[in-house]
Amino acid sequence: MASKCEENITLPDGRNVKTITSVVEANEKDVDIAVEAATKAFNEKWIHVNGQERGRLINKFADLLERDLDELAAIEALDNGKAYTIAKSEDLPFTITVFRYFAGWCDKIHGKVIETQGDKFCYTRHEPIGVCGAIIPWNYPLLMVAWKLGPALACGNTIVLKTSELTPLTALKVAALFKEAGFPKGVVNVLSGFGPTAGAAIASHMKIDKVAFTGSTTTGRSIMKAAADSNLKKVSLELGGKSPNIILADSDLEEAVKWAYQGIYANHGQCCCAGSRVYVEDSIYDNFVEKFKTYAQNIKVGDPFHKDTFQGPQISQRQFDRIMGYIEAGKKEGATLLLGGKRHGDKGFFVCPTIFTDVVKFYSKHIYSYELLYDFLLCNIFKNENMTIMQEEIFGPVVAIAKFKTIDEVIEKAHLTKYGLAAAVFTKDITRAIKISNALRAGTVWVNCYNVVNTNAPFGGFKESGFGRELGKYALELYTQVKTVQINLEC
């Protein structure tokens, strides 16, 4: 790792940014080296380590995470831009909990004895898959390491992990801790590289038996294709989202506002399950919007190492420009910009918390063709919210708030995107909460809360938000394969 801490760069818009450090870029040959190390470790060492010992090693590693909590939180803040206090109080404790949870599963993964016809003995084994590739995103660098490595190691697999090129630092520290914990050489291999080179090499590698990916839907498609064109490796995908958050008139309004605020602005809005579409029943719409605006106006945006900071910078110039592009699209397509919509300060990639209302597309000019008339009727009479900011994942601190009249209407609106990662419902009527939750096509539905993720509860998506479940017992299915053994007892 070559330090470049003193290098300053001036961007085209005049802002000054500073390079923190640089790391070595992994290419296809480095992936080959890592895969060979993982294959050797699996065949010669790790497959012979029993569950109790695997659990001990994972718990030892978790002990080291706790020991180096302050250092890891600081690296995470530098790496990602998130607030240091949040990294220390939320991300690190959850990461440690995930590893300890899966450490507990290590000696409890087993098959079944199955009754068959005749004098036969039949049983199943849940065996490790082998070498698993993991490609993780930049929004939660440390947590994504835990979500992938925790169950994979518990099940007895070896790992080749590629971090995002934007956030390689935490995982490099983690790699050193795995070594210190006593994991055999080659069990955990960490690479820092770009998707089109290192990531593509992992997805298409003939000696990688499974790949787990968290990121964009577009990249997920590429990984599935590469897996199919190579050795038909198993694939699990946790992809994008455009999650609806439904606020009913009988909800606790203060609680709904508080959770909705957390649901979109946590982690700078860079969260796959962010509640970026908020639907509010018409009778409380104005009151909700006013209270929500007050919350957003009080968000502390700034230096991640200031104790009061809630929102740090966006991850990169590219992401900053992408978010600002969506904000411009919202304004051009006729949404009302209620708050924000601009850069915060004159340094770094900070975006002001942004609120859009009136997100049903309309035309302010004269309707001069049948095509425009049809589009107008479709959007305004049938309430088809087809604005860009209502359809595409922004991945930033931008929320669109719309009103609804009936339950059937809002359920239909909730399904007007290609995604199905998460959703939420706020109501005091538990019967309605259950009915709406059951009707929503999403992998997770929160009731009277948002973005509450538990170690032992599965997380994953419907539709183009991916498939496979992470966390909980369900995650073990991603990293094991079932073998049936039939024994003829008559011989």
Residue from 191, 201, 206 nearest 222 by CA? 201
Residue from 75, 47, 55 nearest 209 by CA? 47
Rounded Cα gap, residues 193 and 199, in angstroms = 7
Which residues are part of the catalytic machinery? 238
SS3 for 402?
strand
Read off the tokens for 44: 């010669």
Strand partners, 482: 126
Cβ atoms 270, 314 nearer than 8 A: yes
User: How many other C-beta atoms lie within 10 A of the C-beta of residue 218?
Assistant: 10
Cβ atoms 217, 464 nearer than 8 A: yes
Element spanning 28, H or E: helix 28-44
> What is the chain's Cα-based Rg?
24
The residue to which tokens 């998707």 are assigned: 195
Would you give the DSSP letter of residue 272? Answer: T
Residues 6+ apart with CB under 8 A from 228: none
SS3 for 121?
strand
Cβ atoms 254, 230 nearer than 8 A: no
Residue from 284, 217, 214, 224 nearest 255 by CA? 284
